[in-house]
Chain A
């Protein structure tokens, strides 16, 4: 079964810590995405990547960075965690543009991050 795996289901971190959220997909997908989900706001795109070492800012990139050194792995980095970054983080992947991708994304199960 194809998978997008997020390394942690729950995380608790302290304000000011550097936080790494890891995401791995085994579908050989070109595109990978990081969203955060907050009640009443839906899913908001933080960063995405359409190729190894390539990254693009989404709608809310402030306070985050990403790394994609290998095709299957896309990491989200909170340089200095703050309480307003407490949220559910969802990783997703998809085929490249032009390919049959009407199934949209394949999502990971999410990481619920609490910053105290």
Chain B
């Protein structure tokens, strides 16, 4: 069964430093998608970045990049030059496809709470 593992329940990082949030996944599918979401204290889930399993280049979106290592089944999120506003919960997620329905479910890891120190 598909599974997402985030081994860091919480992290503290100094402002302006880079930070890496770990994510490993398990799937037998050849075609899948990987996501990172941010959840600030307000509770909304904000999409950050996406990586397709066939994408050869690592995805980047502004200060966010996804370090995709397919053979190791890891999809770490890298935030460069962290800011106070980056303090939030971060979820790694993976899309799986149901064989008989048209819905594509996303499964989530348990999350990492990132705190940025001034």
A94 to B97, CA, bound (A): 13
A112 to B56, CA, bound (A): 40
- Interface residue? B7 (CB, 8 A): no
Is B44's CB under 8 angstroms from A104's CB? no
Majority secondary structure, B binding face:
strand
User: CB-CB < 8 A to B74: which residues of A?
Assistant: none
User: CB-CB < 8 A to B35: which residues of A?
Assistant: 104
A92 to B103, CA, bound (A): 12
- Interface residue? A12 (CB, 8 A): no
A:89-116 near B, CB below 8 Å: 90, 92, 94, 96-98, 101-107, 109-110, 112
A interface residue count range (under 10 / 10 to 19 / 20 to 34 / 35 or more): 20 to 34
User: CB-CB < 8 A to B33: which residues of A?
Assistant: 102, 104
User: CB-CB < 8 A to A112: which residues of B?
Assistant: 43
Contact among A41, A51, A101, A102 for B110, CB-based, below 8 A: A41
Task: Please list the residues of chain B having a beta carbon within 8 angstroms of any beta carbon in chain A.
Answer: 4, 6, 9, 33, 35, 37, 42-45, 47, 50, 52, 91, 93, 95, 97-98, 101-111
Task: Please list the residues of chain A having a beta carbon within 8 angstroms of any beta carbon in chain B.
Answer: 30-31, 33, 35, 40-45, 48-51, 54, 56, 58, 88, 90, 92, 94, 96-98, 101-107, 109-110, 112
